């Protein structure tokens, strides 16, 4: 059951990151105007938005590839989650430094902090999974 939940979470994270990355690449100005909090983060910069779009595509691909590549899953999900966690920490630091208003924590949570937390959780599961399997197998042998 936990395995299916983690794989489903990776699928959701992967599809969301790919969708966001494609939106950023194909319609950067529309993305800038429609994503809550983004216009407050600074002036529109098409090149920068498209650069970050590539990161989202890579993150999404890592989550999706990890679903079908069990032997590389822990690495792929951990690498993707590392970027998501660093991104979330940057947003929190901006609030702490007074760059962003405190309301940004609430605004950013669904699209920035929550994916980082979910990615971290499924990465820990993927890292621990081989050890759990080995312990379970030794108990039955």
What is the predicted pLDDT for the residue at 138? 44
Find the helix packing angle between 73-96 and 46-68, rounded to 10°.
Answer: 140
Q: Which residues of the chain have pLDDT under 70?
A: 130-141
State how far the alpha carbon of 52 is from the alpha carbons of 4, 34, 59, 73, in Å.
30, 16, 11, 23
What is the predicted pLDDT for the residue at 18? 98
What is the predicted pLDDT for the residue at 60? 98
- Enclosing H/E stretch for 116: helix 114-140
Q: pLDDT by residue (tens digit) across 12-40?
A: 999 999 999 999 999 999 999 999 889 98
Place of tokens 């790919």: 18
Q: Which residues contact 9 (CB under 8 A, 6 or more apart)?
A: 118, 121, 122
H-only helix segments in the chain = 2-26, 28-34, 46-68, 73-96, 103-108, 114-140
Place of tokens 């679903």: 67
Domain boundaries, the chain: 2-140
Q: pLDDT by residue (tens digit) across 60-71?
A: 999 999 999 999
């Amino acid at each position: 059951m936990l395995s299916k939940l983690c794989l489903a979470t990776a699928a959701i994270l992967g599809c969301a990151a790919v969708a966001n990355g494609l939106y950023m690449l194909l319609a950067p100005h529309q993305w800038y105007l429609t994503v809550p909090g983004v216009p407050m983060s600074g002036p529109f910069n098409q090149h920068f938005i498209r650069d970050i779009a590539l990161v989202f595509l890579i993150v999404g691909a890592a989550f999706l590839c990890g679903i079908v590549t069990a032997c590389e899953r822990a690495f792929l999900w951990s690498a993707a989650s590392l970027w998501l966690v660093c991104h979330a920490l940057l947003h929190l630091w901006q609030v702490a430094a007074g760059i962003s208003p405190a309301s940004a924590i609430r605004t950013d949570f669904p699209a920035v902090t929550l994916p980082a937390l979910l990615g971290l959780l499924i990465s820990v599961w993927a890292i621990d999974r081989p050890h759990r399997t080995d312990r379970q197998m030794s108990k039955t042998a």
